[in-house]
């Protein structure tokens, strides 16, 4: 590692002034681009088993058109995806831990990366067979489509299926397109990005790359990210297509750690002294590739996907220097068909993960001479699944799904000074689901019951409180049963789309994080049960072609059921979250106002400490294109946290010594230029 008046009243005033300033100039405006009604696209987050119009479960789709991708200066998934109801993303304000992502409370335990939610990038699973995902390879500035299954999804993806998020960065054009973008801003942010889309006969290709550096809002939080991606869509013949994808990410970042409340209030830009002294941070290199063959057979559509990835990690932390080398891959087979309104599908999945893990003492940010852990951990997952969708009556349809997983964890101990800790753990699970959908005009009413399971990850199994090697024999899987009902679609006669759902999750043998020392190491235990009740609502209104308003709300009551903590709230999740968004366009000029409100929430199981609620306002502006010869120039800018609110955007749950708080940046200004050929 190498070192480097009230808020709400002001928010309302900004909204009114913004509308007033734009209303006169756009009142006579005709739309800049034609609005086209596109056919329903299959939901890849649900294995393409349904479309948004037919899926009998809560699912959200976010499509970001070329102008949004070019003109929005969002540099994190937390801002790119915040209009998806039911999704809560903690942006820790630095790169070292990645963004914590949770769906209806599933995944909230993650000390770093993502747990409990399946994430895929362009068809390649980022969630490993052990249920852990790292999102370093996802470049937010190129995300064009996001699909979210907002509930138990193990019937589609198996382990860690508390929800499913499918991200797509591919951009295929019918004629050559070239784009470059530069951006600079507060806290030393600077970014350069490039992409090109090229058709070659019947085939199409897309490539993108970016470099992002930031000095950091907090001390000891500088970082660098380099990313690249490649996509191909090849038409082999009239009935066969081949889709290719590859992605690469390299990072070198510092880790400031979390703060106590006193430290946060005195200096939110400070770092945890132990993390700075030990030069905590992360260097990693992640590469992945995948190929999907689609063949229209006489029976139905047959698809086979093969993928593989490699990840190396050097991770100095106060308690150890972690050296990890990961190899993973898998195969997916699926056959699906539709005959006389009957739809069905069968599939087989196989996946493997192999981690070579070595821990040393941390010698000022370098591996010291004391080798504390040296072992090879492997995970293998074999699964079979199927679904059938039956028409019960003209507008009523029943969908049944079932998946069976067999997952084996094995560990070979290479450090025998304290005895041979080699061993294995095996977990099996059956994940059924059933749902009904009733179509009424443009609205779909739905209800379903579903299940999910979540094994401990390899990291959680080897982090034993007794500090010995091997897997923790006392740690088992977490199980979830879910029930939900809702409605989504367009209202007849008015330009309004709605998405509403109510749900209950019963979580058993939940996996709970805790810390025993002030060194940042997190351990896990199974402890009792939770009940998650909630409501999600999203309304999109386009009263004029130049004006779109969107409101997203999530209300939840996630509580412990076990005797010791009965009635306590699940930490890390605000009970109320509100997002409001207004977009305006006029003769190429584009503006957006976004408001996000999160209520106060607890940061520990005992509910003795809270993270304060906050409201932040972001303002965006840009121009869709100023032509200079064959070159199109698109300037853009953003002011994030307009009112410079001091708040903690993320927390370290159950942290030792009260170090719960991970401060978010204050007011941030970013501006850039997009150049298109």
Coil, helix or strand at residue 43: coil
Q: Are strands 396-413 and 366-393 parallel, antiparallel or unpaired?
A: antiparallel
| pLDDT tens digits, 478-497 | 899 999 999 999 998 899 99
Residue of 522 and 605 predicted with greater confidence = 605
Question: What average pLDDT does this structure show over 325-351?
Answer: 94
Coil, helix or strand at residue 86: coil
Q: Are residues 454 and 131 in contact, defined by beta-carbon separation less than 8 angstroms?
A: yes
Q: Are residues 350 and 127 in contact, defined by beta-carbon separation less than 8 angstroms?
A: no
Q: Are residues 622 and 71 in contact, defined by beta-carbon separation less than 8 angstroms?
A: yes
| pLDDT tens digits, 430-462 | 999 999 999 999 999 999 999 999 998 887 887
Give, rounded to a whole angstrom, the gap between the first and last alpha carbons of the chain.
39
Q: Exposure of 257 by Cβ count < 10 A (0-12 exposed, 13-18 middle, 19+ buried)? A: buried
| pLDDT tens digits, 529-574 | 899 999 999 999 999 989 999 999 999 999 999 878 889 999 999 9
Residue 434: phi, psi to the nearest 5? -145, 135
Q: Are strands 396-413 and 423-440 parallel, antiparallel or unpaired?
A: antiparallel
Return the closest-CA partner of residue 85 out of 67, 107, 61: 61
Question: What average pLDDT does this structure show over 184-192?
Answer: 96
pLDDT of 81 strictly over 60? yes
What is the C-alpha separation between 118 and 431, in angstroms, rounded? 15
Q: Are residues 253 and 222 in contact, defined by beta-carbon separation less than 8 angstroms?
A: yes
Residue of 180 and 37 predicted with greater confidence = 180
What is the C-alpha separation between 510 and 504, in angstroms, rounded? 16
pLDDT of 8 strictly over 60? no
Q: Exposure of 277 by Cβ count < 10 A (0-12 exposed, 13-18 middle, 19+ buried)? A: middle
Question: What average pLDDT does this structure show over 337-356?
Answer: 93
pLDDT of residue 14: 34
For residue 626, how many other CB atoms are within 10 A of its CB?
A: 11
- Side-chain half-sphere exposure of 277, counting CA atoms within 13 A: 6
CB-based contacts of 6-9 (< 8 A; 24+ apart in sequence): 7/615, 7/643, 7/645, 8/615
Report the mean per-residue pLDDT for the chain: 89
Q: What percent of the chain has pLDDT over 90?
A: 73
Return the closest-CA partner of residue 157 out of 43, 247, 248, 240: 43
What is the C-alpha separation between 555 and 536, in angstroms, rounded? 7
As a dihedral over the C-alpha atoms of residue 287, residue 89, residue 475, residue 415, rounded to 10 degrees, the angle is: 40
pLDDT of 22 strictly over 60? no
As a dihedral over the C-alpha atoms of residue 564, residue 566, residue 567, residue 572, rounded to 10 degrees, the angle is: 60
Using alpha carbons, list the distances in angstroms from residue 261 to 271, 365, 602, 607, 662: 13, 27, 13, 15, 10
Strand ranges in 104-239 using DSSP code E only, listed in sequence order: 114-115, 118-121, 124-125, 132-133, 145-149, 164-168, 177-185, 189-200, 203-214, 223-237
In this structure, of 393-402, 506-515, 605-614, 625-634, the range with the lowest mean pLDDT score is 506-515
**Secondary-structure class of domain 7-35+56-210+219-240+252-676 per CATH:** mainly beta
Angle at 176 between CA 175 and CA 182, to 5 degrees: 135
pLDDT of 73 strictly over 90? no
Q: What's the pLDDT band for 40 if we cut at 50, 70, 90? A: low
Coil, helix or strand at residue 149: strand
């Amino acid at each position: 590692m190498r070192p480097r008046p009230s808020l709400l009243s002001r928010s309302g005033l900004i909204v009114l002034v913004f509308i007033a300033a734009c209303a006169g100039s756009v009142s006579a405006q005709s739309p800049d681009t034609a609005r086209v009604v596109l056919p329903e696209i299959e939901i890849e987050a649900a294995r393409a088993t349904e479309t948004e119009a037919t899926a009998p479960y809560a699912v959200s789709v976010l499509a970001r058109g070329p102008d949004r991708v070019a003109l929005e200066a969002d540099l994190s998934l937390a801002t790119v995806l915040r209009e998806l109801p039911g999704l809560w993303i903690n942006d820790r304000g630095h790169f070292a831990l990645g963004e914590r992502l949770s769906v209806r409370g599933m995944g909230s335990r993650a000390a770093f990366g993502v747990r409990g939610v399946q994430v895929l990038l362009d068809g390649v699973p980022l969630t490993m067979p052990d249920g852990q995902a790292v999102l370093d390879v996802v470049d937010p500035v190129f995300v064009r489509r996001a699909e979210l299954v907002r509930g138990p999804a193990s019937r589609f993806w198996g382990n860690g299926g508390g929800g499913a998020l499918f991200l797509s960065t591919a951009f295929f054009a019918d004629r050559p397109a070239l784009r470059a973008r530069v951006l600079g801003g507060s806290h030393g942010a600077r970014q350069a990005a490039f992409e090109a889309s090229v058709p070659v006969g019947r085939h199409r290709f897309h490539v993108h790359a970016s470099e992002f550096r930031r000095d950091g809002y907090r001390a000891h939080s500088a970082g660098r990210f380099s990313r690249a991606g490649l996509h191909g869509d090849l038409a082999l013949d009239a009935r066969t297509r081949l889709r290719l994808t590859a992605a690469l990410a390299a990072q070198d970042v510092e880790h400031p750690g979390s703060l106590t409340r006193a430290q946060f209030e005195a200096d939110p830009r400070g770092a945890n002294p132990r993390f700075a002294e030990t030069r905590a941070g992360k260097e990693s290199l992640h590469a992945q590739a995948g190929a999907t063959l689609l063949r229209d057979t006489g029976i139905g559509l047959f698809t086979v996907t093969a993928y593989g990835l490699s990840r190396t990690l050097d991770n100095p932390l106060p308690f150890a220097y972690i050296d990890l080398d990961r190899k993973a891959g898998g195969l997916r087979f699926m056959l699906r068909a539709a005959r006389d309104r009957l739809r069905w599908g069968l599939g087989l999945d196989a996946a493997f993960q192999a981690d070579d893990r070595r821990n040393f003492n941390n010698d000022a940010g370098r591996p010291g001479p004391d080798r504390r852990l040296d072992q090879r951990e492997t995970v293998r997952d074999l699964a079979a699944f199927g679904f059938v969708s039956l028409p019960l009556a003209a507008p009523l349809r029943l969908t049944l799904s079932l998946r069976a997983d067999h997952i084996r964890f094995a560990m070979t101990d290479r450090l025998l000074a304290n005895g041979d800790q080699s061993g294995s753990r095996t977990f099996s699970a059956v994940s059924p689901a059933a749902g009904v959908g009733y179509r009424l005009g443009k609205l779909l009413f739905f209800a379903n019951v579903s299940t999910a399971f979540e094994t401990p990850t390899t990291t959680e199994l080897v982090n034993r409180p007794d500090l010995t090697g091997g897997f923790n024999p006392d740690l088992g899987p977490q199980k979830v049963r879910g029930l939900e009902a809702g409605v989504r679609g367009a209202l007849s006669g008015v330009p309004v789309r709605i998405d509403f759902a109510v749900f209950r999750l019963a979580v058993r043998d939940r996996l709970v994080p805790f810390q025993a020392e002030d060194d940042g190491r997190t351990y896990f235990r199974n402890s009792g049960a939770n009940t998650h009740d909630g409501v999600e609502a999203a309304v999109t209104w386009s009263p004029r072609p130049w004006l779109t308003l969107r409101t997203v709300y999530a209300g939840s009551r996630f509580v412990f059921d076990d005797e010791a903590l009965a009635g306590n709230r699940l930490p890390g999740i605000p009970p109320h979250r509100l997002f409001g968004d207004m977009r305006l366009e006029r003769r190429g000029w584009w503006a957006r106002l976004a408001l996000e409100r999160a209520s106060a929430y607890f940061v520990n199981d005992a509910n003795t400490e809270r993270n304060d609620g906050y409201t932040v306002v972001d303002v965006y502006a840009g121009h869709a294109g100023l032509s200079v010869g064959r070159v199109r120039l698109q300037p853009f800018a953003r002011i994030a946290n307009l009112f410079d609110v001091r708040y903690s955007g993320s927390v370290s749950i159950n942290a030792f010594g009260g170090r719960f708080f991970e401060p978010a940046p204050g007011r941030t200004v970013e501006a850039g230029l997009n150049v298109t050929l």
